[in-house]
């Protein structure tokens, strides 16, 4: 396992071929942070060529529809590259946001990081 | 500086600046916590406020800092009311595609109004569409002052 330098808003670790992303901020709400998080997430695929990405939401307490939009775009990019995106450790309040927007059907959401790592 | 209005509302006029939007939401969140609103209620209100204020700044005022967004709110033990007005031309909410339909599921935007309506008790978009009011009515028993009603 190797740790890469912190990106503002994100902490990225490599577990073999799998890139695990954690959020530093508890609130993925404001537009500027989301814009930066989106750019950093997209660069994992577009510039670094990562194909197996696990997003860990354990630190996240809030997110907005703009953040959902970034995850949707990331999912498209990962799928287009032949890779796989998995999400884990989503708390009940945030899972409800995915559920009511039906995005739980679009994303592969698993219970915890261990289960997520085994899904690749 | 906020204005305290006769009807009990507090009003802010902020420039179309996302940092200002965050600041005012933090002020409101702090006051909701002081009024003993529960975490789940605050989660929904915070999400709805973010969607509404960002819509006003981005889509209404087109991020033009010369244009203001007026935010007026009133926190009571039994309900929270908020109104958001921008200086844009407005829009027809019926023109926003249904974010739950299969063909729109992968659209990266268009879920804001849906989320506001889910988490708040009532959301009204007033013609021509540049003013939105919404409220969250709390379930009893709620804390009023130092006693439970």
**What ipTM score was computed for the predicted complex, to two decimals?**
0.87
pLDDT level of residue A117 (50, 70, 90 thresholds): very high
Q: Which CATH superfamily is domain A2-118 in?
A: STAS domain (3.30.750.24)
Average pLDDT value for chain B: 91
Local structure of residue A60 (DSSP, 8 states): -
Query: Which residue of A64, A75, A79, A102 is the best one to mutate when testing the B interface, meaning the one whose CB has the most B CBs within 10 A?
Result: A64
pLDDT for A30 beyond 80: no
Residue B149 pLDDT level (bands cut at 50, 70, 90): very low
* Token pair for B120: 């708040």
Average pLDDT over residues A91-95: 94
Query: B136: distance to nearest CA of chain A, Å?
Result: 17
A59 interfaces chain B, CB cutoff of 8 Å: no
Which residue would you say has higher pLDDT here, B19 or B5? B19
pLDDT at B146: 46
Tell me if A30 and B105 make a contact (CB, 8 A cut-off).
no
- Please give the average per-residue pLDDT across B35-41, as a whole number: 93
**Distance separating alpha carbons of residues A32 and B84, to the nearest angstrom:** 20
- pLDDT at residue number B143: 58
In this structure, what are the phi and psi dihedrals at residue B120, rounded to the nearest 5 degrees? -105, 160
- DSSP E strands: which ranges in A24-94? 27-28, 52-56, 62-63, 84-88
Residue B108 DSSP SS3: coil
The minimum CA-CA distance between A1 and chain B, rounded to whole Å, is 32
Cβ atoms of B142 and B41 closer than 8 Å = no
A64 reaches B (C-beta below 8 A): yes
Domain spanning B3-140: which CATH class is it, in words? alpha beta
b/e map B95-116, b = 16+ CB within 10 Å = ebeebeeeeeeeebeebbbbbb
Residue B77 backbone dihedrals phi, psi, to 5 degrees: -60, -30
Q: How does the average pLDDT of chain A come out, rounded?
A: 91
Burial (Cβ within 10 Å: 0-12, 13-18, ≥19) of residue B58: middle
């Amino acid at each position: 396992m190797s740790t890469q330098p912190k990106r503002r808003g994100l902490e990225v670790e490599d577990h073999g071929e799998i890139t695990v992303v954690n959020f530093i901020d508890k609130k993925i709400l404001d537009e500027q942070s989301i814009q930066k998080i989106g750019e950093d997430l997209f660069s994992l695929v577009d510039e670094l060529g990562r194909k197996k990405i696990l997003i860990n939401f354990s630190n996240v307490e809030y997110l907005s529809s703009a953040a959902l939009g970034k995850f949707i775009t990331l999912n498209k990019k990962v799928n287009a590259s032949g890779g796989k995106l998995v999400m884990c450790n989503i708390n009940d309040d945030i899972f409800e946001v995915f559920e009511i927007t039906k995005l739980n059907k679009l994303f592969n959401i698993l219970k915890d990081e261990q289960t997520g790592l085994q899904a690749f | 500086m906020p204005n305290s209005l006769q009807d009990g509302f507090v009003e802010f006029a902020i420039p179309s600046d996302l940092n200002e939007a965050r600041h005012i939401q933090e002020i409101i969140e702090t006051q909701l916590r002081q009024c003993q609103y529960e975490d789940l209620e605050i989660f929904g209100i915070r999400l709805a406020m973010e969607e509404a204020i960002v819509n006003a700044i981005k889509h209404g005022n087109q991020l033009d800092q010369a244009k203001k967004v007026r935010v007026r709110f009133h926190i009571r033990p039994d309900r929270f009311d908020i109104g958001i007005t921008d200086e844009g031309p407005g829009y027809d909410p019926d023109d926003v595609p249904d974010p739950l339909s299969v063909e729109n599921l992968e659209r990266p935007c268009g879920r804001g109004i849906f989320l506001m309506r889910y988490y708040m008790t009532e959301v009204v978009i007033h013609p021509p569409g540049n003013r939105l009011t919404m409220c969250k009515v709390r379930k009893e028993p709620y804390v009023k002052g130092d006693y439970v009603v």
